[in-house]
Amino acid sequence: MLTTKSAVILFFGMLLGVLLSVGGSVFAERDSLKASVGNHSDAPVETVTLPYQELRMFTEVFGRIKRDYVEAVSDKKLLEDAIKGMLAGLDPHSSYLDAEQYKGLKEGTTGQFGGLGIEVTMENGFVKVVSPIDDTPAQRAGMKAGDLIVRLDEKPVKGMSLADAVKIMRGNPGDDILLTVIREGADAPLKITITRAIIKVKSVKNRMLAPGYGYVRISSFQSRTGQGVIDAVNKLKAENGRELKGLVLDLRNNPGGVLNAAVEVSDAFLEKGLIVYTEGRIKNSKMRFNAAPGDVVNGMPIVVLINAGSASASEIVAGALQDHHRAIIMGEKSFGKGSVQTILPTGSDAAVKLTTARYYTPSGRSIQAEGINPDVLLARVKLESLEAVAFKPVKEADLSHHLENGDGEKQEQQELQEDVNKEGLDLRDYPLHQALTLLKGLSILSQ
């Protein structure tokens, strides 16, 4: 039987090992930041005074569990659970990553991983969908930003950690999972079955909306997204045969991703000035990112689309372009994730994801829990209520009991649909239709 004295000795020995492991990782992370950002002197190491009274209480509980719990529990599990609890109590984005979760995180930043295809966080003990990722099982199944997942295969989410919930959702490709979802406006919980798959995220897509007007969609910010945006714009220019008249940059339901990618995308449209800066307690968490000369669309008008699913890196881009008056932001208020997480490897292929800073837009706005307010606010429109002729003005032919005119009416509707297809617009996408209309107006004014 483990005595209290033995528990104290055991705990302090393990605690020392953990502190040494994490401490070494912190210094390595600082060195990598210094190399990537610029000249910074090493931050002074703060002397940590151990709270002996609280640690004594911890070891007493540790000893009680080892001695009295109904089943034997390993030291490793107890200490890992204690670390998880410490991090989970800080904020929704700090967490302990075991070897499998750490591997999944690294796969996610490179654009390929297994699972459902949704970015999630925790809210009031439930899993909240930040946004579904484009062209993934979750999006095709109808998951939406803001959905609360309350059950996974009939297993209640309440009481789970976010890491545990994500682990269940990942599973094996080809297997189904049943999600019970609470959605704002729905009368009852929804049952949504999704088939897991290998998620290959193509973060940048492009197409022409109309002659002279391009469209670039960023679904997430990965390590190669910045170059992907430049390549996409150059393809649009080549397809158009000359410089673009304007561009729609679509960041809706983009959950964010790599900070450097957000900086590169912003830099692609800015000639100079501050893009984003971060502030934290340690010196090397205070970083500033500035634009280099060169605008990939040569000053042409830009409209950026955002919604409640636009988070983190998406908000950095929207905030930078808004503060520099380089683009008009249109849509809904964004998600409001303005914190920076640093990955600190701890050995044994595990890591700690720790919130180390807040980021600020060039004008000094912190968007943490606030979000980006669009310049042009668009109310949500129920897509199911919009027919294929949703934006056609009311005419005689729309009136009840109107006098028929042979084939002429049918021909008019067909011509309208052909015009829509030429512009590449889905009329049910109200925000995109409005963005193109605004872009055309801006182009006329600029001329």
H-assigned helices in 270-397: 313-323
Please give the chain's pLDDT, 447 residues, in tens. Answer: 444 444 444 444 444 343 333 333 322 222 233 223 333 334 455 667 889 999 999 999 999 999 999 999 999 999 999 999 999 999 989 999 988 888 877 766 655 567 899 989 888 889 999 989 888 999 999 999 999 999 999 899 998 988 889 889 988 889 999 999 999 999 999 999 999 998 877 899 999 999 999 999 999 999 899 999 999 999 999 999 999 999 999 999 999 988 999 999 999 999 999 999 999 998 889 999 999 999 999 999 999 999 999 999 999 999 999 999 999 999 999 999 999 888 899 877 899 999 999 999 999 999 999 999 999 999 776 544 444 334 444 444 444 444 555 554 445 445 444 444 445 566 679 999 999 999 999 988 877
Is 303 a member of any domain?
Answer: yes
Shared domain for 175 and 213, answered yes or no, is no
Shared domain for 217 and 361, answered yes or no, is yes
Instruction: Fill in the amino acid letter for 401.
Output: H
Query: Read out DSSP for 119-151?
Result: EEEEETTEEEEEEEPTTSHHHHHT--TT-EEEE
* Residue with token string 């599973």: 171
- Please choose, from the candidates 284, 221, 375, 218, the residue with its C-alpha nearest in 3D space to the C-alpha of residue 34: 284
Shared domain for 291 and 213, answered yes or no, is yes
In the chain, the number of structural domains is: 3
Boundary-marking domain end, from 377, 410, 426: 377
Shared domain for 224 and 365, answered yes or no, is yes
Cα separation, 122 vs 212, in Å, equals 43
Domain span holding position 49:
4-73
Quote the pTM value.
0.73
Shared domain for 278 and 333, answered yes or no, is yes
Cα separation, 162 vs 127, in Å, equals 7
Boundary-marking domain end, from 152, 169, 200: 200
Strand pairing partners for 246?
A: 213
Boundary-marking domain end, from 318, 352, 377: 377
How many alpha carbons fall within 13 Å on the CB side of residue 286?
A: 8
Beta strands in 291-393 (DSSP E): 302-306, 328-331, 339-347, 350-360, 376-377
Shared domain for 33 and 138, answered yes or no, is no
What residues have CB less than 8 Å from 82, skipping those under 6 apart?
58
Give the residue numbers annotated as catalytic, written as ranges: 312, 323, 337
Is 428 a member of any domain?
Answer: no
Is 444 a member of any domain?
Answer: no
Shared domain for 228 and 272, answered yes or no, is yes
Shared domain for 210 and 63, answered yes or no, is no
Shared domain for 351 and 257, answered yes or no, is yes
CATH of the domain at 284: 3.90.226.10
Is 84 a member of any domain?
Answer: no
Helix (H, G, I), strand (E, B) or coil at 443: helix
Is 105 a member of any domain?
Answer: no
Shared domain for 130 and 253, answered yes or no, is no
CATH of the domain at 143: 2.30.42.10
Shared domain for 191 and 218, answered yes or no, is no
Alpha carbon separation from 383 to 313, 380, 387, 431 (Å, rounded)? 27, 9, 8, 11
Tokens of 383: 């897509």
Tokens of 336: 């409001």
H-assigned helices in 150-282: 162-170, 225-240, 259-269
Shared domain for 146 and 226, answered yes or no, is no
DSSP-derived secondary structure letter, 403? P
